[in-house]
Amino acid sequence: MRKVFFIFVLLSVYFTAVSASPIETAKEPRSSYLKAADSLKDLNTQLAYKRLEIIIRDFPKSEEAKKAVLLRAVISATEFSSSDMLAAKYSEAIQKAKSNDVKKEIIKLYMETSKDMIDSGTNLIDDVRALLEDRNKSMTLEIKKEYDSLDFSSRAFLSIKKLEAGELPTAEEIKDIKGFYKDGASRYVLGKVLAEDDLTAKRTINKEVDWAGTMFLMGNWLIHVGGANKSGWLDPTNQKITKSLVQAEKSFLAAKQCFEKAKKLSKVGQVRTQSDERIKEINQILNEFKGGK
């Protein structure tokens, strides 16, 4: 009786192991990746970023993890770009504020947005460095877009005009303005990554990644991140100019690698020429860092 029971247990373990076959496990990163990519259909970049982090952590060797590394960099570039544009708009509005109270409130918005820009810039440095470790093999991305960008434009139009006139927008209007800039940044970044000109309408984009264009884009944004860290930003926590030369140097070094990679990958002479120019600019900046040490 004991022998029969023992054989039964062994068979149970065997069939349990078979049921959890590699085919089933292989589906796991795929379904997780699809959930993450699905978050981008309505521009929910924060949720998408968190989900992508989990894929990279749990399935580091999978093809989905490679796509996740790229999409994380895309999201960070989008967040940095949109915050950068919004901070510039707030900076202009401060000069036109119709009262001191309005000016104080817009200054608060400017400081918060500048901090968001620096935070997303920090993410971008890390995400691009992870991207540079990959071999950048041929890759196709499928991105669903379930909103029309014209809706963002129409909702934000009057709110932006209000801000430009030196008036303080409501919380809902600020949300519309943020959505407008995030959409614009997302279309620009994805347009370069996928070599796609028109991303305004609702659609599903299924295209091969333009790696040369991607690396050139990331390099340009990293120069901007480095410049922001080098010159400093107004920190809302202490209302003082804060700098990070360590982050600035990291950013410029990663940017240089991006342009070197863009040169190797590009078949277009203009991209190679522009990459060479950027590398020269970065080398001059890096020499300044060496001189200050």
Is residue 223 over pLDDT 60?
Answer: yes
In this structure, what token pair is assigned to residue 228? 């922001």
- Give the start-end residues of each E strand in 27-150: 140-145
**Could you give the dihedral angle defined by the CA atoms of residues 249, 252, 256 and 257, in that order, rounded to the nearest 10 degrees?**
70
Tell me the average pLDDT across 237-252. Answer: 89
Sign of CA pseudo-dihedral 204, 206, 211, 212: negative
- Quote the CA–CA distance of 14 and 247 in Å, as a whole number: 53
Q: What phi, psi does 148 have (nearest 5°)? A: -100, 130
Q: Return the minimum-mean-pLDDT range out of 189-198, 214-223, 227-236.
A: 227-236
Q: What is the pLDDT, as a whole number, of residue 3?
A: 45
The residues spanned by each domain of the chain are 25-291
Is residue 123 over pLDDT 80?
Answer: yes
Q: Report which of 91, 92, 74, 83 is spatially closest to residue 115, judged by C-alpha positions.
A: 83
Please report the DSSP string for 201-253 in residue order: SSEEEEEE--HHHHHHHHHHHHHHHHHHHHH-EEETTTTEEE--HHHHHHHHH
101-113 pLDDT, tens digit each:
999 999 999 999 9
Q: What is the pLDDT, as a whole number, of residue 27?
A: 52
- Quote the CA–CA distance of 162 and 224 in Å, as a whole number: 28
Is residue 272 over pLDDT 50?
Answer: yes
Is residue 288 over pLDDT 80?
Answer: yes
Q: What is the pLDDT, as a whole number, of residue 31?
A: 86
Question: Is residue 4 very low, low, confident or very high in pLDDT (cuts 50, 70, 90)?
Answer: very low
Query: Which long-range contacts link 241-250 to residues 24+ away (Cβ below 8 Å)?
Result: 244/118, 245/289, 245/292, 247/121, 247/122, 247/125, 248/289, 249/286, 249/289, 250/125, 250/129
Tell me the average pLDDT across 175-180. Answer: 96
Is residue 166 over pLDDT 80?
Answer: yes
In this structure, what token pair is assigned to residue 105? 């409130």
- Please list the residues that pair with 207 across neighbouring strands: 141
CA 105 distance to own-chain centroid: 28
Higher pLDDT among residues 292 and 129, named by residue: 129
Q: What is the pLDDT, as a whole number, of residue 19?
A: 40
Is residue 26 over pLDDT 90?
Answer: no
Higher pLDDT among residues 29 and 4, named by residue: 29
Q: What is the model's pTM?
A: 0.87
